[in-house]
Amino acid sequence: MFNSKFSFLLLLLGFTLVMSCSEDEDIITDPEIEESDVVIDVDPGNFLVDGTNLTISTVECTLSDGTVTTCYQISTTSTPTDHDMGPWCPTNIADDDSEGGIWLEGGEVYDVDGAFIENMAAFYEDDAWQMYDENGDIYVTETLDDCINAANPNVGDAYRNYCVECIPSYITDVSVSFFMPVTPVLTSQVTNFNTGPGAANVPSTRGVSLGGVEFSAPAPVSNILGAYTLAPFDDAGGHINVHQGYHYHAATGVSRSIPQDDGHADLIGYALDGHGIYARLDAEGEGPTDLDACRGHYDEVRGYHYHVDAAGNNNFINCLTGAYPI
């Protein structure tokens, strides 16, 4: 499904306000929005509400700019109903890409098949990578304790050279709520994630998919690799930890999307400020050329909205242009 060619360079992942952009994008500094421009409310009918895994209610809320308004409370078990979760780790170096997930590195998406695991020493130019035994069987975490311990930044040697996967049965009691204004409110200054008023309310979340799954912050790839572990994503760009449950680190075109009548890129979710999040490419395979620093722009049909970054960049959007609930 994805690029499985092995690069032999250790590529450093750096994230700044303006993330790595594809060649068809031209990032501008500020959105050109007028007070008379169209504002599009969040449409709860776009979500896959099932009354169990995903429910939506309205609550009074205060936004980061002081606006008192009405917000949607999106309560979810972090369990998608629009696609299966996994697989993540293959079990033998002979396994094809149907037995494993994907890895995001240096702007590229790689299939985590058996050959990828077998060639990790060459891929990262480091002979310390040896994630399989003499029979070709890959070392994979097998229990909830393994899942928790291997995710510890101070994991040490116990899980060195393990493929880390946490499975859905570990998150049966996860419940989380996300809030966003019914009507988006643009602000005069963008909010960088983890900074500004109410920063504690946006520790990692960029937005919510139409299936009720978190669009999360970039995965801490350097920490994962530094422990000689690999924590693949499934083909939808998601994986599991016991705190967040299932969550996405990239948009790969697998989760629920809503095509646009005019050929614009599909709607795939909403940001915390209530602005729509759309796929990167339109029906012709073209990307936008007028994005601002947050990866947003305006049109008269969708109002102000965002377009996600390329999947290989381990990123969705760069900042928030609107006010968000605190």
Dist CA 93 CA 50 (whole Å): 39
pLDDT of the residue at 164: 94
Q: What's the pTM value of the predicted model, to 2 decimals?
A: 0.88
pLDDT of 203-249, one tens digit each?
Answer: 578 999 999 999 999 998 888 888 899 999 999 999 999 888 999 99
pLDDT of the residue at 35: 58
pLDDT tier at 26, thresholds 50, 70, 90: very low
Regarding predicted confidence, which is higher, 101 or 171? 101
pLDDT of 248-300, one tens digit each?
Answer: 999 999 999 999 999 999 999 999 999 999 999 999 999 999 999 999 999 99
Q: What is the mean pLDDT of residues 77-83?
A: 94
Regarding predicted confidence, which is higher, 37 or 146? 146
pLDDT of the residue at 300: 94
pLDDT tier at 30, thresholds 50, 70, 90: low
pLDDT tier at 151, thresholds 50, 70, 90: confident
Q: How far lies 116's CA from each of 4, 106, 130, 238, in Å?
A: 7, 15, 12, 19
For residue 101, is pLDDT > 50? yes
Domain extent at residue 257? 1-326
Q: What is the mean pLDDT of residues 30-34?
A: 58
For residue 19, is pLDDT > 50? no
pLDDT tier at 23, thresholds 50, 70, 90: very low
pLDDT of 162-195, one tens digit each?
Answer: 999 999 999 888 999 999 999 999 998 888 887 5
pLDDT of the residue at 53: 93
pLDDT of the residue at 14: 35
User: How many Cβ atoms from other residues are within 10 Å of residue 319's Cβ?
Assistant: 23
Dist CA 88 CA 83 (whole Å): 14
Q: What is the mean pLDDT of residues 45-57?
A: 96
pLDDT of the residue at 34: 62
Q: Highest-confidence range of 1-5, 40-44, 159-163, by mean pLDDT?
A: 40-44
**Tokens representing residue 170 in the block:** 């570990």
For residue 28, is pLDDT > 50? no
The total of structural domains in the chain comes to 1
Mean pLDDT of the chain: 88
- Please choose, from the candidates 21, 12, 272, 32, the residue with its C-alpha nearest in 3D space to the C-alpha of residue 124: 12
pLDDT of the residue at 140: 97
Dist CA 33 CA 25 (whole Å): 19
Helix (H), strand (E) at residue 162: strand 162-163
Q: What is the mean pLDDT of residues 79-106?
A: 97
Pairing of strands 176-181, 68-76: antiparallel
**Tokens representing residue 245 in the block:** 């449950």
Q: What is the mean pLDDT of residues 142-160?
A: 85
User: How many Cβ atoms from other residues are within 10 Å of residue 278's Cβ?
Assistant: 25
